[in-house]
Amino acid sequence: MTLKEEFATRNFSIYGQWLGILSMILCFALGIANLFTIHIFIIIISALCLASSFVILFIEVPLLLRICPTSSTFDAAIRRVSTNFMRAAAYAVMAVVQWLSLIDRRTGLIAAAVLLSLTALCYLLAGVRGQAFVGSKTLGGAGVAQMIV
């Protein structure tokens, strides 16, 4: 299945997964960019943004759990986030943390908050519509992990 065919399925979990990848890239970039500020609260929030990018990477690319040496506790925690509703909740928590950055001052972290919120919304819509989670084959979904020996 090509990427175009995946998007044509109108399954919101596919949209959520790709928005999650965009969120990961944005969280990584904004987390690093905002670490170099003089406001302690923003430094803490940007460090959490940076950490969120790595969590998102393992959530959205399941192939990495087989490749990267991680602890069994971390693997179990990531595997719990497998349904649409759990993914929506995880992204909602990460979005709330980024929205909290507005308490101190306005920074670029609001872009991460908006994108994380949209990702949570896509997964929530997939869950409400009863769509089964479908992992993108491009990102290591069904079948790709078995190809690695």
Phi, psi of 97 (to 5 degrees): -60, -40
pLDDT for residue 122: 92
H helix runs in 9-71, sequence order = 12-33, 40-60, 63-67
* CA–CA separation, 91 and 123 (whole Å): 9
Q: Are 14 and 7 in contact (CB under 8 A)?
A: yes
Sign of CA dihedral 137, 75, 90, 107: negative
Per-residue pLDDT tens digits of the chain, which is 149 residues long: 565 665 666 788 888 888 999 999 999 999 999 988 888 999 999 999 999 999 999 888 877 878 888 888 888 888 888 888 999 999 999 999 999 988 888 888 999 999 999 999 999 999 898 877 776 666 555 544 433 33
> In 61-108, which ranges are continuous DSSP H helix?
63-67, 72-80, 84-99
> Residue 133: its pLDDT value, please?
74
| pLDDT at residue 39, as a whole number | 87
The pLDDT score that the predictor gives to residue 112 is 93
Q: Measure the CA–CA gap between 26 and 111, rounded to whole angstroms.
A: 8
Question: Rounded CA gap, 76 and 68, in Å?
Answer: 14
Half-sphere exposure of 31 (CA within 13 A, CB side): 19
Per-residue model confidence (pLDDT) at position 89 = 94
For residue 38, the 8-state DSSP code is S
Token code pair at residue 99: 């929205």
